[in-house]
Amino acid sequence: MRFKYLKEHRRGIYTSLLTSGQLTRHLNEIDREANEMLELLMKQMAQEQGITEQLKAENQIAWVGAMNSIRAAAEEIVRSERILL
């Protein structure tokens, strides 16, 4: 996603990273940071909403629905704040 964004919208940065040989390193770093941010946000959002392991044990369907909503919200935050800078 970051590669496509740079190539289409930040052509100068893309070209600079590509010609300096740093593009792969940059993309790997963004991917690592985005995944860490996603995990942290999901944990925080689940805690704020009271989504617990107890809910998972008692009502898996409700837990899965809540976690899917949390994941979608967290992915949107990561996309806007980390990937599409």
Secondary structure element (H or E) that encloses residue 76, with its range: helix 60-78
Q: What is the pLDDT of residue 85?
A: 77
- Read off the pTM: 0.88
Say how many domains are in the chain: 1
Tens place of pLDDT for every residue, the chain, 85 residues? 999 999 999 999 999 999 999 999 999 999 999 999 999 999 999 999 999 999 999 999 999 999 999 999 999 999 999 998 7
* Structural domain of 24: 2-83
Cβ–Cβ < 8 Å for 68, 75: no
Cβ–Cβ < 8 Å for 23, 14: yes
Contacts of 41 (CB under 8 A, 6+ apart): 74, 77, 78
